[in-house]
Amino acid sequence: MLGKVVVSGISLILVVGVIIGVVVTVKPGREDDVTPQMKAVTQFCQPTYYKESCTNTLASANSDDPKELVKAGILAISDSLTKSFNLSQDLITKADKEPARSKAALEECKMLLGNATEDLQDILKKIGETNIASLPNHSDDFRTWLSSIIAYQEMCVDGFDEKSELRSQMQNSTDIGSELTDNVLNILKGFSTILESLGLKINLPATSSRRLLQDGPYPSWMPAADRKLMASRVNPVRVKPNAVVAQDGSGQFKSINAALNAYPKNSKGRYVIYVKAGIYKEYVTVTKDKPNVFIYGDGPRKTIVTGNKSFAKNGIGTWMTATVIVEADGFMAHSIGFQNTAGPEGHQAVALRAKSDMAAFYNVRLDGFQDTLCYQAGRQFYRNTVMSGTVDFLFGYGSIVIQNSLIIVRLPGPGQFNTVTADGRKERGQPGGIVIHNCRIVPEQKLVPRRFYIKTYLGRPWKPYARTVVMESQLADFIQPEGWMPWQGESFENTLFYAEYGNRGPGAVTGKRVPWKNLHFMNRNEALQYTVGAFLQGGAWIRNTGVPALMGLRV
């Protein structure tokens, strides 16, 4: 499977090769000792953070042709994934005397790196199909998708015990892949500027290929039937489902997985599943070949999907404990509950793991303890949701905004503290992070009597460049005055980005916050960068879902 990436990577010739309706003009430059190739390499690597690896990678193309340089960057990621995959396979053959957890983590690495390879192939195909003139307009999309490659590699490493030698070996390998991916992320971000610096001026066609909103809230290419469906999503009982799930036999299916298995091949529209009231004890996976699934129930306390897998009890990686897994893009959920009942003694136990770009959740309830929600990758929007947990219960590597929601902090296990967030942004070029906007953060009733003895923080940085913003939210009195805590044994406070703006309530007083240079108390203009419209490019897709969203600030 991994070998296919190297072969398919050759298709990247199309990245810069197909220039339709584009006029390229070359500015005359002075002669000097720098070869045209090295000038091009220098300009391409200018916006990157790992310039040495960038220069070495692009110089190997032995060309100053932009299409060859971009191709070299992507193929380097592919080659690194192959090496990491082969390393995991080699370590498995030598792991007879390793603990069971380490063996399992190696097997999980193979799966994750295989998934990363498949995703990279998809990215290569999409880039190949994109007119180079419109590529800068789609940089947000491609950077989001490429960030998932870093997420897969980090999930592989995170499956090992902290002090495991195998972890160190895999980390050393995947760190290379993360650096190479970060380089391409930043090259794509500044692609038009890079070409101009090389004396190439791209004249975009008069009509942009990114036609998002025309004549109202829906794009012109959306069929009338889909527009009607979108408009009724805020009241899903009016939606005619493709599949009905009911435990009493009154529907076509008795399980959600059975309804998903009936998803029509090569479906181009929205596949709607109505799940009638009941407690569904099943582990649900929306595989990536099933995009645009919309699941709705009779209410988040009436239609509940429940499981109890955990790291402590089952000995599996955190990412495999999820009750509900969404791997397909364009997922929607409404009026339904997802929970993991493993309890605080289960430690890592996920209720929902979402690797879905442009996913929206409305009137959904997510209940768990440690690691309730894993926002694995992609742009995700949560509105009018209820989320509960204890340690790091909102964590992940993607881009997420939680808006107008209730965040309930629960009573943890003995010796545990509470941290609402633990963002996993690893590289500076990644567009990820978590934004909590216009929400309420409160203790559950069981925690209230002990809320001043059990420490609760807004978050801690799971990875070096963790990005977390809490703004225009109500913070109850149990939030520690320091607000944030460091990750044990690390000094990520020197590289993270934490920010607060316009919060209210006794927990919002900032006078005693941790004295980190990268903890920001933003002004209004700075806060606007982390609204739904700016941070998730929400105007381009959330409005089309029918889910209400505040694109800007509350005040």
Catalytic residues: 371, 392
DSSP string, 395-413: EESSEEEEES-EEEEPP--
How many Å separate Cα 312 from the centre of its chain?
25
Report the relative pairing of strands 332-340 and 303-307 from DSSP bridges. Answer: parallel
DSSP string, 440-486: EEEE-TTTGGGTTTS-EEEE--SSTT-EEEEES-EE-TTB-TT-B-P
CA distances from 105 to 154, 166, 343 (A): 12, 9, 23
Greatest distance between any 2 Cα atoms in the chain: 80
How far apart are alpha carbons 97 and 91 in whole angstroms? 11
Helix or strand holding residue 122 (H, E): helix 100-128
CA distances from 444 to 303, 310, 348 (A): 22, 22, 20
| Whether 311 contacts 274, CB under 8 Å | no
Looking at residue 206, the DSSP 8-state letter turns out to be S
Of 310, 373, 317, the residue nearest 344 (C-alpha): 310
CA distances from 395 to 294, 381, 419 (A): 23, 14, 10
How many Å separate Cα 152 from the centre of its chain?
10
How far apart are alpha carbons 419 and 93 in whole angstroms? 38
Looking at residue 329, the DSSP 8-state letter turns out to be T
Looking at residue 173, the DSSP 8-state letter turns out to be H
How far apart are alpha carbons 553 and 484 in whole angstroms? 23
And the tokens for 414?
A: 């003995």
| Whether 376 contacts 424, CB under 8 Å | no
How far apart are alpha carbons 103 and 123 in whole angstroms? 30
Task: For 345-398, give the secondary structure using H, E and C.
Answer: HHCECCCEEEECCCEEEEEEEEECCECCEEEEECEEEEECCEEEECEEEEEECC
Look-up of token digits 């916050």: 513
Length of the chain: 555
Q: Is 152 helix (H, G, I), strand (E, B) or coil?
A: helix
| Whether 294 contacts 240, CB under 8 Å | no
The residues, ordered by sequence, that sit 6+ positions from 466 with a Cβ below 8 Å of its Cβ are: 422, 423, 424, 425, 433, 459, 492, 496, 497, 498
